[in-house]
Structure 1
Amino acid sequence: MKISSSQLISELKSITQSNIQYIETILQKTDQEELNQRTSENSWSALECIEHLNLYDCFYIPEISKRIHASKTSPKATFSPGILGNYFAKSMLPKEKSNAMKTFKAMNPIHSRLDKNVIKKFIEGQQQLLNLLDKAKDIDLEKTKTSISISKLIKLKLGDTLRFVIYHQVRHIEQVKKVLRNV
């Protein structure tokens, strides 16, 4: 897969803006009690899904920001994903038949009693991500590498990291929608 770098960034911005719109128009207007309800004892509530994304943002937003600001590269017209990065990114996209994944304990907010500040924090993170996507237009999405949350030894192309982070958000926003339909 080879894609125009500007098209990739545009698609990722569009997804992020769509996530913000959903959160602002639906979640902010939903009762906090409902947002804390689970469909089962071991499933996440809507707010726990969003808090999970906030926990990942705590790692990825500073990491992406640091790598963008340190990059001395020039933008490249096209982006080709790496094998590992492409695998990680694609594995995050929601599938028709749910593909449950085990999360790391540090990123698992299960049985947390959360309030709507989780939503505010998520929107702030999304705004930062939009800002970083704008800055990413000015560098090479392949040569600029980022660490990943599970190992500082593994580096992914910035374009793959951005895809992974945003596709991960899509996955859990879909989970939020499913939870709210079923509580």
Structure 2
Amino acid sequence: MKTQPFLQQLHNQVHELLAVLSTELEPRNGQALQFKPSATSWSVLECLEHLNRYSRFYNPALRKALAAGRKAGTDAEVGFSWLGRKSYETVRPENRKLQKTLKHMNPSQSALSWDVLVEFRQHQETLLELLRQAETTDLNRKAVPVEFFRVLKLRIGEALLFVVAHQQRHMQQAQRVLQQYTAQQETAPRLVV
């Protein structure tokens, strides 16, 4: 895919994430946001905190890569390495296979509050700015270290795709948790007096 349509697609997907945040998550109360379908599953807040932890690493890494990036035309083809394809395949939203997360990226049992949603929104706004900066950058330059093994580097385009797909995956997970919470609330016995 060419640079401009590739970045526009990612831009649209980030806006969709912000729309879900605004319409589905932010209107919910703390009980809904902290609900866990099982002891080993994540709550909505834990899903977003996991994404915040990744954003704390990838947003600055992308900013640095973009600042040092070579300029390229907007009609350049965005390429993918084996590492980039593999990284994307593991986190793409359609891949429902459970992935084990790194211990420091696992928010389970964390004390979380509404601040998680605020931080998530800030990271999305930063990502939108990074996508704008990427419009004139060579997206095929290997410049973004992989979080868990920083010697390996993703191409800038691969890293952007990875970040957005990972966020979509966990946003869908958060939406499923909310659906389970709503279903549980609808079937819970109610005391009528």
Asked if Structure 1 and Structure 2 have the same fold, meaning a TM-score greater than 0.5 normalized by the shorter chain, the answer is yes
In 1, are the aligned partners of 2:142 and 2:153 still within 8 Å (CA)? no
Corresponding residue of 1:137 = 135
The residue aligned with 1:177 is 175
Which residue of structure 1 aligns with residue 77 of structure 2? 78
Unmatched segments (≥5 aa) in structure 2 = 182-193
- Map 1:141-180 to 2 at 5 A: 141-180=139-178
Could you tell me how far apart the structure 1 residues matched to 2:174 and 2:104 are? 20
- Hey, what's the Cα distance between the residues in 1 that align with 2:69 and 2:16? 28
Aligned-pair identity in percent equals 31
Unaligned runs of 5+ in 1: none
Residue aligned with 2:100, SS: coil
Moved more, 98-107 or 78-87: 78-87
CA deviation digits over 1:14-71, x for unaligned, max 9? Answer: 0000000110111110011110010000110000000000000000000000110111
Deviates more, 1:143-152 or 1:155-164: 143-152
Q: How many angstroms apart in 2 are the aligned matches of 1:16 and 1:94?
A: 14
Per-residue CA deviations over 1:67-95 (Å, capped at 9, x if unaligned) read 10111332352111112101211221123
1:109-148: CA deviation from partner (whole Å, max 9, x where unpaired) = 0012311110010000000000000000111000252111
Cα distance between partner residues in 1 of 2:57 and 2:78:
24
RMSD between superposed Cα atoms in Å:
1.2
Q: Show the counterpart of 1:128.
A: 126
Matched residues, number: 180
Radius of gyration: which is bigger?
2
Question: Structure 1: which 4+ aligned runs deviate by more than 6 Å?
Answer: none
Contact in 1 for aligned 2:3/2:135 (Cα 8 Å): yes
Q: How far apart, CA to CA, are the structure 2 residues paired with 1:139 and 1:4?
A: 12
TM-score (norm 2): 0.90
Q: Does 2:48 align with 1:50?
A: yes
For normalisation by structure 1, the TM-score amounts to 0.94
